[in-house]
Amino acid sequence: MNLFGLIDFYNGLEKCKEIGGCIETESITLADGSQFDNAVIVRVDYTGHRFYSLGFMDEQGAVRVVNVDQLTLVLRPVHKRVADVNNKAYQAWAFAQKSARAKRLLEFSQGAAASSYQKELQTLLNDLGMEETTNLSLKRVPTEKPQPAIKAVG
């Protein structure tokens, strides 16, 4: 995903809802000289055709919303999976949010022959760097009936 400006950040965030992941920058520098390394962009606001604010989470877990006129530099914004993010505060927050969503999807789909939530669940698991649901501490419904321990003969 190419991220060259505010419209790309906005579209990227919208796409992240569908494909997972987030937008992490190497750093964001403001007009007052303050710099935030490994900032994760969490929102871009606009009205009409004018962007007016950008929200991001810094490495301490603080969510900051700044007027776009205060942005001096957004260095190397990249789309990443949550599992690959360098910002540990964001990673912990996103992991909690997404694993809670994945658990909820598993609860909804238990007992269903074919889950309509399977694609979203797979996207969430991929985003978290997980291949299966066992790490979510929720058991999936077995696909086969268990064999009885005792069989009647004859």
Q: Give the mean pLDDT of the chain.
A: 82
- Residue 129, both tokens: 């760097």
At residue 140, the pLDDT reads 38
Instruction: Quote the pLDDT of residue 119.
Output: 80
pLDDT digits (tens, 9 = 90+) for 86-123: 999 999 999 999 888 888 888 877 766 556 677 888 88
* pLDDT recorded at residue 142: 38
Residues 94 and 128 in one domain: yes
Structural domain includes residue 149: no
Q: Are 63 and 56 in contact (CB under 8 A)?
A: yes
63 and 12 inside one domain = yes
What pLDDT, on a 0 to 100 scale, did the predictor assign at position 89? 96
Q: 13 and 75: one domain? A: yes
What pLDDT is stored for residue 19 in this prediction? 86
Residue with tokens 């069989």: 151
104 in any annotated domain = yes
Assign residue 26 the CATH number of its domain: 2.30.30
Q: Which two tokens stand for residue 148?
A: 């009885």
Question: Which of 36, 60, 82 delimits the end of a domain?
Answer: 82
SS3 percent helix, strand, coil of the chain, rounded to 5, is 35, 25, 40
Q: Which domain holds residue 30?
A: 6-82
32 and 70: one domain?
yes
CA dihedral 33, 37, 38, 44 (to 10 degrees): -10
Q: Please indicate, yes or no, whether residues 55 and 108 belong to a single structural domain of this protein.
A: no
In the chain, the number of structural domains is 2
**Mean pLDDT of the 41-47 span:** 93
Residues 6+ apart with CB under 8 A from 121: 102, 105, 106, 109, 115, 133
Task: Single out the residue of 116, 48, 64, 103 nearest to residue 25, CA to CA.
Answer: 64
pLDDT band for position 55 (50/70/90)?
very high
Q: Does 74 reside within a domain?
A: yes
What is the number of other CB atoms lying within 10 angstroms of the CB of residue 52?
13
Establish if 34 belongs to a structural domain: yes
Query: Are both 116 and 74 inside the same structural domain?
Result: no
- Same domain assignment for residues 66 and 95: no
Q: Which of 115, 138, 119 is nearest to 127 (CA)?
A: 119
